[in-house]
Amino acid sequence: MTATADTGSEVPLRTLFFLSCSTGITAETLGHSLMTQFEETPYQQVTVPFVDTFAKAEATVQEINRVAAESGLPPVVFSTLVDPRIRQMLAATDCVFFDFLDTFIEPLERELKVESTHTVGRSHGMVDYDSYMARINSINFALANDDGIRADHCEHADVILIGVSRTGKTPACLYLALQYGVRAANYPLSEEDLAQECLPPVLKPFRSKLFGLSIDPQRLHQIRNERMPGSEYASYERCAYEISSIQALFAAESIPYFDASSLSIEEIASQLFQKTRIERRI
């Protein structure tokens, strides 16, 4: 199987395997980070979590060798397998094997002069109960205060994101909760709110917790048009009016904000940590 690159030449479709003795999240995250540097290389991925027995390892060995034989190309394997015997089995397949633990753990052991625990699932397991509960409580808080915050919840929020509808507030709040245990709420300012040219009463006592998200009107128009095509809500004129009004409100009320048009939720979170005094709980 091939795909056509921007140059017009055919590029073979590669198969990536993400192998883990736990959830596979770390292997996927690191592997995807590396593959972002190869934008013109098409690939399909196979994630195999919980490879924690020899039987599961053998089944994975057969699958990797099958893909290699059928495609004529060795799959690229990213591994966070802890058991050295299982790692050896997988590394011996017809593949290009990248082992993240060998790459980083062994040099760290030499430098720290301490042997690692080789414990399965520490990155994404429930190792620290307090951190786990902080994450769960923050997720529940974000869900309970999505699309408008209750007055009795405001004092418990670490940050309250405000902006017009569809500017990335909800995914940013959930990411902050899941990744950092931050209690983030969001409040979408409606056309009626903007017409008042001042903060809604529920938000005024908590001005210090407010942070605004803005977006390019054309980008907002595209996003809304995907959700409600042809509607007045999605029209460029409506989007331009709302963005102009919200930025005027931010300026009048001295509310910090930034343009999130081209930012991922990870980048939005990083910007918030840089520009506020939010403290992560995990």
135 and 266 fall within a common domain: yes
Q: What average pLDDT does the structure give for the chain? A: 91
How far is C-alpha 155 from the geometric centre of its chain's CA atoms?
27
94 and 197 fall within a common domain: no
pLDDT for residue 72: 97
152 and 264 fall within a common domain: yes
Both tokens of residue 161?
A: 């994101």
238 and 268 fall within a common domain: yes
In which band, very low, low, confident or very high, does the pLDDT at 101 lie, cut at 50, 70 and 90? confident
pLDDT for residue 30: 93
149 and 216 fall within a common domain: yes
167 domain residue, yes or no = yes
**Number of C-beta neighbours around residue 113 at 10 A:** 6
148 and 245 fall within a common domain: yes
158 domain residue, yes or no = yes
Question: Where is the domain boundary, 57, 80, 112?
Answer: 112
CB 263 within 8 A of CB 271: yes
pLDDT for residue 125: 54
282 domain residue, yes or no = no
135 and 256 fall within a common domain: yes
117 domain residue, yes or no = no
268 and 136 fall within a common domain: yes
270 and 136 fall within a common domain: yes
123 domain residue, yes or no = no
Domain span holding position 171: 129-275
Say which residue the tokens 């902050």 belong to.
176
Burial of 274 (0-12, 13-18, 19+ CB in 10 A): exposed
pLDDT for residue 118: 66
CB 64 within 8 A of CB 17: yes
Say which residue the tokens 């809604």 belong to.
200
Number of domains in the chain: 2
159 and 232 fall within a common domain: yes
pLDDT for residue 5: 45
- 3-class SS letters over the chain: CEEECCCCCEEECEEEEEECCCCCHHHHHHHHHHHCCCCCCCEEEEEECCCCCHHHHHHHHHHHHHHHHHHCCCCEEEECCCCHHHHHHHHCCCCEEEEHHHHHHHHHHHHHCCCCCCCCCCCCCCCCHHHHHHHHHHHHHHHHCCCCCCHHHHHHCCEEEEECCCCCHHHHHHHHHHHHCCCEEEEECCHHHHHHCCCCCCCHHHHHHEEEEECCHHHHHHHHHHHCCCCCCCCHHHHHHHHHHHHHHHHHCCCCEEECCCCCHHHHHHHHHHHCCCCCCC
pLDDT for residue 6: 47
Separation in Å, CA 276 to CA 151, 210, 248, 255, 266: 22, 10, 21, 11, 15
Least confident of 10-14, 24-28, 96-100, 215-219: 10-14
177 and 259 fall within a common domain: yes
- List, for residues 245-263, the tens digit of each pLDDT value: 999 999 999 999 999 999 9
Question: Where is the domain boundary, 112, 142, 167?
Answer: 112
Q: What CA–CA distance (Å, rounded) separates 78 from 269?
A: 27
124 domain residue, yes or no = no
CATH number at residue 255: 3.40.50
- List, for residues 120-137, the tens digit of each pLDDT value: 555 555 557 888 899 899
141 and 194 fall within a common domain: yes
Rounded to 5 degrees, what are φ and ψ at 281?
-95, -15
In which band, very low, low, confident or very high, does the pLDDT at 41 lie, cut at 50, 70 and 90? very high
pLDDT for residue 248: 97
Both tokens of residue 251?
A: 């300026």
Question: Where is the domain boundary, 62, 78, 112?
Answer: 112
118 domain residue, yes or no = no
pLDDT for residue 178: 92
280 domain residue, yes or no = no
